[in-house]
Amino acid sequence: MSFKIASSPHQHNQRSTAQIMRLVTLACLPGIILQAVMFGYGVIIQLALAIITAWCSEALILRLRNKPVLARLKDNSALLTAVLLAIAIPPYAPWWLIVIGTAFAIIMVKQLYGGLGNNIFNPAMAAYVLLLVSFPLQMTQWLPPLSLQSISLTPLDAVCSIFSQFSCSGFSLSQLQSGIDGISMATPLDTLRTDLNRGLTLDESWQRPVFFAFAGTGWLWLNLAYLAGGLLLIQQKIISWRIPVAVLGSLFVLAAVSSLASSDTFAGPLFHLFSGGTMLAAFFIATDPVSASTTDKGRLYYGALIGMLVFLIRNFGGYPDAYAFAILLANMTVPLIDYYTRPRTYGHRARSELK
């Protein structure tokens, strides 16, 4: 018998890190396909740029650190980071945005901390926050869903828009953001926040075409697709149910209570659960085995903290979809959460008994 010392992530099954990362990436596919159908071909181009940049950045730093390049690239962690960042940014953002973000995630957030298992922050979310703070205009250029777009785009238009910020027909991104009524459109979360700040009621804002049923047009189905992928990960025991359940449960409870207290100014819980990147963040990002809590009880606290922060930032902060900030703030608390929730070692008394 031989013993092997290895860094996190540790999984209580026979799957390797490469298999786990690959399965998580594959579970994203339903959401990625639907995102391309709903919001255009730019998603596919951003994915290709992010993956190439991630592999090149990782190979460069590994070579400089005299580490085995091919073996480390095969663990698929760089691939997953690239995918998560690419699907989180606007599909028609300029090409250099995803290149800067992916390189920062791999080089600064992952490799400079020592590589996989040593980073204290989620690389994709750290890069997302960097881009959002540094390039707020480019990071908010979401086009409306295809059903609401006034100008249809071909795959060639997507290439032209990403690399030149103009479609092949000469339309700028600001023109492409106009809906079928000619009014410039934003995401449902951003639209609702703007309308409420202008003094409109929730019912008045709800009349806009960007909203559908109890969520946003296109965003409802997108969240359902990522929910399906997340449930598959739980069923396959790739992730623990505790973090996503705590994230969604905390957000649901806070949104429900606030909506009951003031239905004119606070959206209901279903809107929060099925708008923006809620399901993607709850199942695919918050559950990162390296930067998330590692104890069973700690995962519940960690997830509940993320849900609470999302609710507070969405309603009282400056960013409508708050998951990147919420996850990074929760990452900071992980050592403390794990310290106070770690299981008692057999034969040792609990800390509370020692006082």
Q: Is residue 245 part of a domain?
A: yes
Task: Give the 3-state secondary structure of residue 216.
Answer: strand
Task: Give the 3-state secondary structure of residue 6.
Answer: coil
pLDDT for position 318? 80
Total domains present in the chain: 2
DSSP per-residue string spanning 238-265: SS-SHHHHHHHHHHHHHHHHHHHH-TTT
Q: Is residue 6 part of a domain?
A: no
pLDDT for position 321? 84
Choice among 38-47, 160-169, 209-218, 271-280 with the minimum mean pLDDT: 209-218
Q: Which helix (H) or strand (E) holds 222?
A: helix 219-235
Task: Give the 3-state secondary structure of residue 53.
Answer: helix
> Could you give the dihedral angle defined by the CA atoms of residues 58, 52, 44 and 153, in that order, rounded to the nearest 10 degrees?
130
The per-residue pLDDT of the chain, averaged, comes to 87
Same domain, 220 and 331: yes
Q: Is the pLDDT of residue 277 over 50?
A: yes
Query: For the chain, how many helices (H) and strands (E)?
Result: 18, 2
Same domain, 130 and 227: no
Peptide bond into 123 cis (omega under 30): no
Find the domain containing 181 and state its range: 17-185
pLDDT for position 185? 61
Same domain, 151 and 87: yes
* Alpha-carbon distances of 187 from 32, 51, 97, 208, rounded to whole Å: 18, 26, 19, 11
pTM over the 0.85 mark: yes
Same domain, 22 and 169: yes
pLDDT for position 145? 83
* Alpha-carbon distances of 74 from 27, 45, 66, 94, 162, rounded to whole Å: 18, 22, 16, 29, 29
pLDDT for position 187? 81
Q: Is the pLDDT of residue 142 over 90?
A: no
pLDDT for position 259? 92
Strand partners, 184: 178
Q: What phi, psi does 95 have (nearest 5°)?
A: -60, -35
Task: Give the 3-state secondary structure of residue 236.
Answer: coil
Same domain, 111 and 42: yes
Same domain, 180 and 267: no
Q: Is residue 22 part of a domain?
A: yes
Same domain, 178 and 245: no
**Each residue's pLDDT tens digit, 286-296:** 999 999 999 99
Q: Is residue 351 part of a domain?
A: no
Mean pLDDT of 50-74: 92
Q: Is residue 263 part of a domain?
A: yes
Mean pLDDT of 252-268: 91
Same domain, 246 and 160: no
Q: Is residue 140 part of a domain?
A: yes
* Alpha-carbon distances of 322 from 254, 260, 305, 316, rounded to whole Å: 15, 22, 13, 11
Same domain, 334 and 228: yes
Q: Is residue 8 part of a domain?
A: no
Same domain, 269 and 153: no
Same domain, 313 and 171: no
Tell me the Cα Rg of the chain: 21
